[in-house]
Amino acid sequence: MSNAKEQFLDLQGKLKKVCEIAGLSESFYEIIKEPERIIEANIPVKMDDGTTKTFRAFRSAHSTALGPSKGGVRFHQSVTYEEVKVLSTLMSLKVALLGLPLGGGKGGIVVDPKKLSERELEILSRGFVRAMNNYLGPRIDIPAPDVNTNAKIMGYFTDEYIALNGGRQDIATFTGKSTDMGGSLGRSEATGFGVYLTIKKYYEKIGKSLKGATVALQGFGNVGSFAAKYLADDGAKIIAVSARDESAEAGSSAIFDENGFDPDQLNEIREKKGSVLNKEAEKITTEEFFALDCDILIPAALENVISDANADSIKAKLVVEAANGPVTEAGEKILNEKNIPLIPDILANSGGVLVSHYEWVQNITGSYLSEEEVRAKQEKDMTRAIGEVFATADKYKVTFRQAAFILSLTRIEKALKLKGRF
Ligand code: NAD
């Protein structure tokens, strides 16, 4: 992400403003405006062709005021020092909003994993754990999957960690593991289910039914496909899906059907043909997709897709940030002026880290939950957080994002104060 430096400054601006609204002190802002620690490492990998390459890696713990830092590790060529600062700060806010005994972390390696062989990828993954080992652990810092990392990489991480630490079976050091090695049931669906829950609760708040509500969804990956499924099961109509497919007809990036798509059918097409864009349906451009006259617009793919370049064209009555950071500062300003409410990422997509927290607890206690128990617990925990955000927005007459920030920052501030930090 090239403009991560700017994004970090924007985020600091938002934190400062919320501190002022909520009456939080300058000293507190001074502490949380930068991460507590950032480790930077260069990881050497002996490549298959006999040469050695080094890969730059970062791990940031933004705040450990409420507990060990927690957050994903991404493998991507555009990872930067600033990017992990932004993302770890947002993680602190996300876990505090859920009331979890955790802090915010994030990490990354500057690499295009598609260019590595399986062996090189494994060596790089193990190298990350060796570089960060002193600052990893179930009570210190708990990584998880993120962009281009998955349960398999968590398997390498866990194995290396155990080997480096005298065989201690501290599998709670990593979440997002396979269910065959301590992962939680219900994790795959968790983020999409949480996106659906936030929308359902918003509709209850405005006294409307989801039946027949029209949805435009960008991204039909893990988050988007499950969000679509739960929304459709509750009567909403998925009228447009935007996705990526390099082989698709030029200029067409979304499919449209005013009667609504069946998410199960879309899943089948994606699995068989590589992209939902291969569904026989009317094709529309990205510009047309964002300008659709619909009830709910859900960006569930990438960051920065709603900006001052297209926010003015948006006609949706609600925007829900299923992806991390899909709406830029300038884009949000325009949505606010147009009175289009926005449910922020730290609430809308928090179901993922919530169930990762359950994984951590299950690993530590050795007692495991059924899928139904996970779903019921997630619904209860998220319903509470969503209700608190709505009530805080009403109380302070602020946006849902500012309300979420107020709740999170107030919790972090209390913990720091009790620790005598200021
Ligand atoms: P994913 O890789 O499973 O899916 C991403 C989808 O976006 C894919 O279907 C891809 O085709 C689509 N896409 C990519 N570029 C696109 C473009 N230009 N236009 C339209 N569609 C495009 O990823 P995911 O796990 O679903 O994550 C999506 C977003 O949600 C990311 O921002 C991620 O950080 C965030 N998120 C994910 C989780 C989680 O639990 N998976 C948790 C919190 C936040």
CA–CA distance, 27 with 413 (Å, rounded to integer) = 10
> What is the arithmetic mean of pLDDT over 309-326?
97
CA–centroid distance, residue 23 to ligand 1 (Å) = 36
| Ligand 1 nearest-atom number relative to CA 326 | 32
pLDDT digits (tens, 9 = 90+) for 154-202: 999 999 999 999 999 999 999 999 999 999 999 999 999 999 999 999 9
- Is 245's pLDDT higher than 80? no
Please write the tens of the pLDDT for every residue from 329-368: 999 999 999 999 999 999 999 999 999 999 999 999 999 9
pLDDT average, residue stretch 372-377: 98
| Cα 169 to ligand 1 centre (Å) | 32
C-beta of 220 in contact with ligand 1 (< 6 A):
yes
Give the per-residue pLDDT at 248: 62
β strands within 214-281, DSSP E: 214-218, 237-242, 254-261
Which residue among 86, 146, 222 is best mutated to probe the pocket of ligand 1, counting the most ligand atoms within 8 A of its Cβ?
A: 222
Residue nearest to atom 12 of ligand 1 (CA): 219
| 53 CA to centre of ligand 1 in angstroms | 29
Please give the DSSP secondary-structure letter assigned to residue 1. -
Rounded mean pLDDT, 302-330: 96
- Ligand 1, atom 30: nearest CA belongs to which residue? 323
How far, in Å, CA of 350 to CA of 381, rounded? 11
Q: What is the DSSP letter of 322?
A: -
pLDDT at 274: 87
106, 200, 201, 229: the catalytic one is 106
For the CA of 220, the nearest atom of ligand 1: 9
The number of beta carbons lying within 10 Å of the beta carbon of residue 271 is 8
Which atom of ligand 1 approaches the CA of 147 most closely?
Answer: 34
C-beta 285 within 6 A of ligand 1: no
How many C-beta atoms surround the C-beta of residue 117 within 10 A?
11
Residue 84's φ and ψ, nearest 5 degrees, are -70, -30
The closest residue, in CA terms, to atom 8 on ligand 1 is 221
Verify whether ligand 1 is closer than 6 Å to residue 302 (CB atom): yes
**How far, in Å, from the CA of 95 to the mean position of ligand 1?**
20
Please tell me if the CB atom of residue 335 comes closer than 6 angstroms to any atom of ligand 1: no
**For residue 2, what pLDDT is reported?**
47
* 275 pLDDT above the threshold of 70: yes
Cα-to-centroid distance, 300 and ligand 1 (Å): 5
Please confirm, yes or no, whether 279 is among the known catalytic residues: no
Q: Hey, which of 189, 196, 223, 270 would you mutate to test ligand 1's pocket, going by the most ligand atoms within 8 Å of its Cβ?
A: 223
Closest residue to atom 3 of ligand 1, CA basis? 221
Q: Residue 143 pairs with which residues in a beta bridge?
A: 71
- Identify the DSSP state of 176: S
User: Hey, what are 414's tokens?
Assistant: 């209390």
381-422 pLDDT per residue, tens: 999 999 999 999 999 999 999 999 999 999 999 999 999 999
- pTM recorded for the entire structure: 0.96
CA of 227 to the centre of ligand 1 (A): 12
Q: Does the beta carbon of 266 lie inside 6 Å of ligand 1?
A: no
Closest residue to atom 43 of ligand 1, CA basis: 349
The residue-averaged pLDDT of 21-34 equals 97
pLDDT of 249 = 61
pLDDT of residue 1: 41
pLDDT at 3: 83
Nearest of 253, 303, 308 to residue 276 by alpha carbon: 253
For residue 25, pLDDT over 50 is answered with: yes
Distance 223 CA to ligand 1 centre (A): 7
* Per-residue confidence (pLDDT) for residue 244, from 0 to 100: 86
